[in-house]
Structure 1
Amino acid sequence: MTRASAPAGAPMSRPAGAAGPLEPSPAPGAVPGGRGRRVRLLSSAVSPRTAWVLRALSVLLPLAAWQAVSVSGLTDPTFLPSPAAVLAAGREMAVRGELWSDLAASLGRVGLGFALAVLISVPLGFAMGALPWAQALAEPLIGLLRYLPASAFIPLLIIWLGIGEASKVALLVLGVVFFNTLMTADVVRQVPRRLLEVSATLGARRLRVAFRVVFPYALPGVIDAMRVNAAAAWNFVVVAELIAATSGLGYRVIRAQRFLQTDRIFAILVVIGLIGLAIDVLLRLLRARVGRWAA
């Protein structure tokens, strides 16, 4: 009776003191004495309870370190205020109404600029991802423009559009539109060719395939791209409000810096972080709702 042959390419070894035929060496990662079992180096998932504990620790540990440094006397409170001082400064600005008016101004600019960027970038990115001629026509220019820092356009935007709201919104559009276009195009190009072939076999026309197959498949990825670039929109609105602004969170940061009010600066940064987190959670929920089939 012949011995079972080893898989092609498997390394062979001879047991110690034996003169028989070579035996296949165990595959890398296989458990000795086990058949088909492999060592898992990384866990695939954590329980919901553990996940929430880790999320809480990710916030509480830096906060505890911040509190420890502030009460240790190693730093001047003028440069690093305590969490309690930051909370008090935020409460004071909220009571006086400054925080709400500045937050409304910044939210309005982010909302308008980001919406315009999405309205431009999603159709353009969809066309670039679905149509080879559109990619060849637009990708070289967009690939070049995305490397130009949007903040470098501020002098030109002020010359062209003045120091009003138009220049601030335009800066937001420039900071988001190119990256969101390329990311959308990449998502559309990842649609499996098999889906397109099956649709064509069933007699679907190109326009129907685009709206009934490609767009639904790519929509979760498009929302993920929006999540990434929403953070860029907040970065640029603060930059825009640092120059020639009379309201907004960035404007309030500059006023606080002039009087060394670092507690107010930290409070505004915390507010921006919380608003950004809320936007990210909303987009996550939207993605989960419109793309439940996506992994």
Structure 2
Amino acid sequence: MRLINRRPDRGTALVLAALPFALVALAYVLGSAERLAENPADKLLPSFATMAETFGRLAFVADARTGDYILVSDTLASLERLASALFISTALALVLGLLIGLLPLVNALLAPFVALVSMVPPLALLPILFIVMGLGEASKIALIVIGVAPFLTRDLAMRVRELPREQIIKAQTLGASTWLIALRIVLPQIVPRLIDGVRLSLGPAFLFLIAAEAIASDSGLGYRIFLVRRYLAMDVILPYVAWITLLSVAIDYGLARLRDAAFPWFGRGA
């Protein structure tokens, strides 16, 4: 049998999926053990036990100075900024993407502008945002919106243009207006694509969030990582990176389940 036609069964697929994670964990354990054997006070590659102890303290032991649970307060601060930015980005992309993809006049007006904005490196705008909008929440949220919304808008506009032209023609033949076509034919077909677009944007969104928090913030996951870097506190940094990854996976999973529940006809397994 050709290799291209060989498909793993469920058990084999699980083993293959777990193998890269196991290899990375093994490499880390071996490297950590070697460094700690030479220097028990080494901070670069702390043991899993040390990281678990630190993570537990940050999550379940109140800070003596503020009385807050540091991991909880940092997580809530970051998720609030992320949720606000993604909500704004999604709303903008839904409206603009629908209009640009469906209406030729709006496409001629806004498509070149959105394309240009999408090419601007968002992190290069961060100093400008801080100068114009200050160091508060608005500038952090604006950075994520600038980084995410143009991508979502262009993706949705292309999805609208990919819809079969026959659907639009038949609807017009039956007397449907432009706005009825947009609401009843186009919108239901692009919303699941929008959900997938948000899923794909989670990585960049967290990147912009952490960058903004690292430069000007007094709370958040990015703030904490850059705060402790001066102490080489890898027992804090590595668990925080893992925690951010788990949050991204959880949000991605939730959005995928939402898409499947609301639009069961859309492609599953993505």
| TM-score over 0.5 for the pair | yes
Maintained 8 Å contact 2:90/2:194: no
Query: Paired residue for 2:106?
Result: 134
User: How many percent identity over aligned positions?
Assistant: 36
Q: What per-residue deviation string (whole Å, max 9, x for no partner) do you get for residues 93-119 of structure 1? A: 112311111111101110111111111
Match for 1:61 among 2, 7, 23? 23
Match for 2:46 among 67, 74, 81? 81
Query: Paired residue for 1:231?
Result: 203
Q: Residue type of the partner of 2:105?
A: W
How does 1:72-151 map onto structure 2 within 5 Å? 72-73=34-35, 77-96=42-61, 97-151=69-123
Secondary structure at 1:80 match in 2: coil
- Confirm whether residue 196 of structure 1 aligns to residue 161 of structure 2: no
Distance 2:162 2:2 in 1: 29
Match for 2:157 among 167, 181, 185? 185
Distance 2:90 2:6 in 1: 35
CA apart distance, 1:79: 1.8
Maintained 8 Å contact 2:98/2:182: no
**Runs (5+) with no aligned partner, structure 1:** 1-38
Secondary structure at 2:119 match in 1: coil
CA apart distance, 1:263: 1.3
Q: Residue type of the partner of 1:136?
A: A
Query: Paired residue for 2:143?
Result: 171
What RMSD in Å do the two structures reach over aligned CA positions? 2.1
Moved more, 174-183 or 192-201: 192-201
Query: Paired residue for 1:8?
Result: none
Match for 1:206 among 178, 184, 194? 178
Distance 1:281 1:52 in 2: 18
- Confirm whether residue 252 of structure 1 aligns to residue 217 of structure 2: no
Secondary structure at 1:113 match in 2: helix
Higher relative CO (Cα under 8 Å, sequence separation at least 6) belongs to 2
Q: 1:266 to 1:143 in 2, by over 3 A?
A: same
**Runs (5+) with no aligned partner, structure 2:** 62-68
Moved more, 80-89 or 144-153: 80-89
CA apart distance, 1:237: 0.8
Distance 2:162 2:6 in 1: 25
Distance 2:9 2:98 in 1: 37
Moved more, 274-283 or 66-75: 66-75
Maintained 8 Å contact 1:66/1:83: no
Distance 2:25 2:19 in 1: 9
Distance 1:216 1:45 in 2: 34
Q: For this pair of structures, how many residues does the alignment match?
A: 257
CA apart distance, 1:65: 2.2
Q: Residue type of the partner of 2:205?
A: A
Distance 2:150 2:59 in 1: 36
Q: What per-residue deviation string (whole Å, max 9, x for no partner) do you get for residues 95-151 of structure 1? A: 231111111110111011111111112110111111122111111111111121112
Distance 1:72 1:222 in 2: 47
Maintained 8 Å contact 1:128/1:135: yes
Match for 1:272 among 244, 263, 269? 244
How high is the TM-score relative to the length of structure 2?
0.87
Larger-Rg structure: 1
Secondary structure at 2:45 match in 1: coil
How high is the TM-score relative to the length of structure 1?
0.80
Q: What per-residue deviation string (whole Å, max 9, x for no partner) do you get for residues 181-213 of structure 1? A: 111111222211222233333333332222111
Distance 2:6 2:157 in 1: 30
Secondary structure at 1:292 match in 2: coil
CA apart distance, 1:228: 0.9
Distance 2:11 2:187 in 1: 35
